[in-house]
Structure 1
Amino acid sequence: MIKGLYEAHLPVSNLEKSTEFYRGLGLELAIQYEKTAFFWIEKNVSWLGLWEGEQVRTSYHPSLRHVAFRVELEDLKKAKEWLKEKGIIMREEFGFKPTEPIVMPDQAHAMVYFDDPDGNSIEFICKLNAEPETKPKMYLSDWEKERRN
């Protein structure tokens, strides 16, 4: 029955500013209304809705104001510099400094985190070509070294 995720939504304080931010990430504006905009994540497959309003004051929690975009591993490795060129700074997460992607071996995923202009949590994430392992979180470079040994 379920084939994938079609849409996710985030609250924003200034639709024009947020529209510029998400266009800068490479998302294509699909449709815009007075206080709402929808961006294609994958054209005709999935989109992100931005809603200007008071809800942006809702305190952050991963279950409320978080979106993770799937990326390729090679792009994830370049994400820090790519974001920096756009004036976006990666943020610390799970106690790891924002120097490179973080790996969660128990999920076999790597990711980086940053915020949009309203403090919504944005993540770039990729599935690693590995089986989940019971190991603590680590930097991608450390995970790759372990795999080479």
Structure 2
Amino acid sequence: MIKGIYEAHLPIKDLTRSMAFYEKLGLKFAWRDDETAFFWIEEGKSWLGLWEGEEHKISYHPSLQHIAFQVDYEDMKNSLNWLESLDIEAVPFGSRTSVEPFVRPHQGNASIYFKDPDGNSLELMSFVDVPEKWKSVSDKKSIEEWDEIIANQYP
């Protein structure tokens, strides 16, 4: 029945500023009115709604102000450079101090985090093939560590 996400929404303070930010990320503008704008994440499949209003003042919580955009693993390897080329600063996740992309073997994904102009949490995320013996490992691994693990797994 469910085939994917149709739409997600974020609260923002300044629609014009936020529209420029999401266009810089490469999202395609779909439409806008006085207080909202929509951008295609996957054209014809899923989009992101930006809602200008006082709600942007709500204290951050990932259930309210977080979006993860799917990318290929090969793109994940270059994600920090890509964000820097757009003058977007990556931020550490949780208790991590590094902003570098990392792999969660037990979840089968890799991530890097950054914020939009209103402090909404944004993430680039990719699926990662995980060998069976690593599927219960919850320690986060840097991309470099993970690639070395995989290279040594399949020499």
* Fold similarity call, TM over 0.5: yes
Post-superposition offset of 1:85: 1.2
- With 108-117 and 128-137 compared, the bigger mean Cα shift is at 128-137
**Would you say the 8 A contact 2:93–2:99 is kept in 1?**
no
Aligned residues of 1:96 and 1:102 also touching (Cα < 8 A):
no
* Deviations, residues 91-129 of structure 1 (Å, cap 9, x unaligned): 011333344211111011001000000000000000012
The answer to whether the 8 A contact 2:99-2:112 is kept is no
CA distance in structure 1 between the partners assigned to 2:100 and 2:121 by the alignment: 17
> How far, CA to CA, are the matches of 2:140 and 2:129 in structure 1?
16
Instruction: State the partner residue of 1:19.
Output: 19
Gaps of 5+ in 2: none
One-letter code aligned to 1:34: D
Q: Which of structure 1's runs of 4+ aligned residues deviate more than 3 A?
A: none
What is residue 145 of structure 1 aligned with on the other side?
Answer: 148
In structure 1, what is the equivalent of residue 73 of structure 2?
73
Structure 1: which 5+ residue stretches go unaligned? none
1:146 is paired with a residue whose SS is: helix
TM-score normalised by structure 2 residue count: 0.92
Deviations for 1:32-53, whole angstroms, at most 9, x for unmatched residues?
1111000000001000000000
Cα RMSD, aligned residues only: 1.2
| Structure 1 range deviating more: 51-60 or 87-96 | 87-96
| Distance in 2 separating the partners of 1:123 and 1:4 | 17
C-alpha distance in structure 2 between counterparts of 1:97 and 1:139, whole Å? 12
Aligned twin of 1:91: 91
- 1:51 corresponds in structure 2 to 51
- Check conservation: 1:100, 1:139, Cα contact below 8 A: yes
TM, length-normalised to structure 1? 0.95
**1:32-43 equivalent positions in 2, closer than 5 A:** 32-43=32-43
Shift of 1:133: 1.2
Deviation of the 1:144 alpha carbon? 1.4
3-state SS of the aligned residue for 1:68?
Answer: strand
Question: Percent of pairs identical after alignment?
Answer: 46
